[in-house]
A and B are shown apart, each in its own frame.
Chain A
Amino acid sequence: MDLERALSKLRFDDQVIGYSLMTKAGRPFVSFAFPDELFPRVKDSINLYKSDLRLMTIDTDRGLVVLSPVDENWILTVLYVPELQLGLAIAKTKNVLRLLEGVELPPPPEEFEDAAEDNLQVLESIAMKAAATEAPPPEPEPAPAEALSEPSATADAPAETEVTSPESFSVTTTTVPERGEAYASALSLESDLYSEMKSAYRNFGFDVLMLVDGSKNVEEIADTMFQSTERVSDLLKWAASRKIVTVPEGGEEAVAAEEAAMGRFVKCPKFEGDLSKIQGPDIEIVKLCNGSLTPEQIAEKTGVAHPKVIQILAKYRKYGMRMIGKTR
């Protein structure tokens, strides 16, 4: 479950003391090392703002608490170490929220034990049950005339369509997505398809679709939006499964190739020189060069752009920076 993955990102973050996924009423549902004495205070703050709650920070003597609504039912509460800068704490929280963007969380069960360990499983089983009993996809409405952009889309609404899973589509950076039969209806604000997209991807889906014109490839779309190609690909795969866009279907070969992969061979920088000789902000990067992180991972961890990381690593070549080959 993606929720678990997102939460584990917090769990393994050294600067996170604890976290709690809370209901909108301020009850802790799943918690990890979040100090109990802070719950009343957090609950008060949640109740103070109710539905108006946006991102909020509370400075406590245990550290900095960042509250952020995940959706209409859930609030993510993270306690960071006191010395962490406010901006960084907010950015870290936003990163986790971004991971949760495609995840549909079911509402909390009516009765549950506060912060019990197996609550996550409870949630998961609710989600599975909901998916199993979910009504077949509603008949897409015919696109309203004013929202049309392609004549074919305004023709008959696609009949009950077989939903192919997003994974069966192959999208690479050079794939050029084209508008599909449900394109216009996905962009019309009243359609069910639009609300489905909105709940899964917020406005990101709309923005990507606007850029799909049959000539831009995935990389160009991602560049235009300053987003990662992975995120754009994921959205496009979903859109392809709903016939909003068309991309080549992956087929079994592509899937088999992925499964057969033995892992990857990567090169990780290792600094064997004298750390005390390194001055300025570069030290943050050089410190992470322990031979187990790739430059990409260092870039992700520090928020520094990848080319910049390479630039810095190269600078310290003569002071003892080595590249170590590894498989993972």
Chain B
Amino acid sequence: MVKIENPLLLGLYAQTVDQVLSSTSSIDEANQRLREIGKELGSQVYLNSEIVEKTKETVTTREDVAKLIDVVFRTLYNKRPTDVDMDTARGSVRIADKDCIWCQDVNLEGMRGFGYCEVFSGMIEAILEFKDVQAKVFQEASRATGADNCVWNIRLN
């Protein structure tokens, strides 16, 4: 058995995913529901952490967004993202994490397109909103469904 970081968080999140899956009828809907939960969590995180003090008041460029994400990672996970890609897609910032905290030891089969860690998309989206940045964030790949990295795409409007 793999060593799991913070089994409490994982246990609670697994419950949440279970409830979402049992009350939604499609993968898109489940992803959306998890993002909505993440958005609510995002407010709580923003109000109860040091993210606000450690970041610039206004975030405008993609570099600023990348820095903000860096702070979010350090505050929440005590580490940095594996990769922050600002070049591949225009208008997007892609964040990769090879040891994503949300889906440790989760292996889902036959759930193509399901973003197990979509909750984090919602959180980033909310935090960006508090910095006056309008963006759509979604999970592009999840280790839970077989990818090497968990990848989130932040599409800036």
Residue numbers of A with Cβ under 8 A of B are 173-174, 248, 267, 269, 295, 307, 310-311, 313-315, 317-318, 321, 323
- A295-B43, A310-B130 given as contacts; is B48 within 8 A of A174 (CB)? no
For residue B130, which residues in chain A have a CB less than 8 angstroms away from its CB?
307, 310-311, 314
Complex contact B129–A173 (CB within 8 A): no
Complex contact A310–B53 (CB within 8 A): no
Complex contact A314–B44 (CB within 8 A): no
B47 is contacted by which of A174, A248, A317, A318 (Cβ under 8 Å)? A317
- The interface size of chain B toward A, counting residues with CB under 8 Å, comes to 20
Complex contact B44–A323 (CB within 8 A): yes
B43 is contacted by which of A310, A315, A318 (Cβ under 8 Å)? A310
A174 is contacted by which of B33, B46, B126 (Cβ under 8 Å)? B33
Check: B29 CB closer than 8 A to any chain A CB: yes
Complex contact B36–A173 (CB within 8 A): yes
For residue A321, which residues in chain B have a CB less than 8 angstroms away from its CB?
47
The answer for the CA separation of A96 and B131 in the assembled complex, in Å, is 32
The answer for the CA separation of A313 and B52 in the assembled complex, in Å, is 10
Complex contact B47–A323 (CB within 8 A): yes
The answer for the CA separation of A70 and B132 in the assembled complex, in Å, is 37
For residue B48, which residues in chain A have a CB less than 8 angstroms away from its CB?
317, 323
For residue B33, which residues in chain A have a CB less than 8 angstroms away from its CB?
174
Complex contact A315–B44 (CB within 8 A): no
- A174-B32, A310-B130 given as contacts; is B47 within 8 A of A315 (CB)? no
Complex contact B46–A314 (CB within 8 A): yes
- A310-B130, A311-B130 given as contacts; is B52 within 8 A of A317 (CB)? yes
Complex contact A314–B129 (CB within 8 A): no
Complex contact B52–A174 (CB within 8 A): no
Complex contact A315–B52 (CB within 8 A): yes
Complex contact A314–B52 (CB within 8 A): yes
List residues of B (100-134) whose CB comes within 8 Å of A's CBs: 126, 129-132
Complex contact A313–B36 (CB within 8 A): no
Q: What are the interface flags for B1-37 relative to A under an 8 Å C-beta threshold, 1 for contact and 0 otherwise?
A: 0000000000000000000000011001100110010
> Closest residue of chain B to A217, judged by CB?
B32
- Listed residue (A267, A317, A321, A323) with the most chain B CB atoms within 10 angstroms of its CB: A317
Complex contact B32–A269 (CB within 8 A): no
Complex contact B53–A318 (CB within 8 A): yes
The answer for the CA separation of A269 and B43 in the assembled complex, in Å, is 12
Please classify the interface of chain A as helix (H, G, I), strand (E, B), loop, or mixed, using the class held by over half of its residues. helix
Complex contact A269–B129 (CB within 8 A): no
The answer for the CA separation of A321 and B52 in the assembled complex, in Å, is 13
A174-B24, A310-B47, A317-B53 given; 20 more Cβ-contact pairs under 8 Å? A173-B32, A174-B28, A174-B32, A174-B33, A295-B43, A307-B126, A307-B129, A307-B130, A310-B126, A310-B130, A311-B130, A311-B132, A313-B47, A314-B47, A314-B51, A314-B52, A317-B47, A317-B48, A323-B47, A323-B48
- Listed residue (B25, B32, B43) with the most chain A CB atoms within 10 angstroms of its CB: B43
- Listed residue (B36, B46, B47, B48) with the most chain A CB atoms within 10 angstroms of its CB: B47
Complex contact A267–B129 (CB within 8 A): no
The answer for the CA separation of A248 and B29 in the assembled complex, in Å, is 14
The answer for the CA separation of A147 and B73 in the assembled complex, in Å, is 55
| Distance (whole angstroms) from the CB of B34 to the closest CB of chain A | 11
- Listed residue (B25, B36, B130) with the most chain A CB atoms within 10 angstroms of its CB: B130
Complex contact B43–A174 (CB within 8 A): no
For residue A314, which residues in chain B have a CB less than 8 angstroms away from its CB?
46-47, 51-52, 130
Complex contact A269–B53 (CB within 8 A): no
> Closest residue of chain B to A173, judged by CB?
B36
| Distance (whole angstroms) from the CB of A76 to the closest CB of chain B | 35
Q: What are the interface flags for B50-81 relative to A under an 8 Å C-beta threshold, 1 for contact and 0 otherwise?
A: 01110000000000000000000000000000
For residue B24, which residues in chain A have a CB less than 8 angstroms away from its CB?
174
> Closest residue of chain A to B48, judged by CB?
A323
For residue A174, which residues in chain B have a CB less than 8 angstroms away from its CB?
24, 28-29, 32-33
For residue B28, which residues in chain A have a CB less than 8 angstroms away from its CB?
174
The answer for the CA separation of A49 and B63 in the assembled complex, in Å, is 60
| Distance (whole angstroms) from the CB of B68 to the closest CB of chain A | 13
For residue A173, which residues in chain B have a CB less than 8 angstroms away from its CB?
32, 36
For residue A269, which residues in chain B have a CB less than 8 angstroms away from its CB?
47
> Closest residue of chain B to A312, judged by CB?
B130
For residue B32, which residues in chain A have a CB less than 8 angstroms away from its CB?
173-174
Q: Pick 10 A–B contacts, CB within 8 A, sort by A.
A: A174-B32, A248-B25, A310-B46, A310-B130, A311-B131, A314-B47, A317-B47, A317-B48, A318-B53, A321-B47
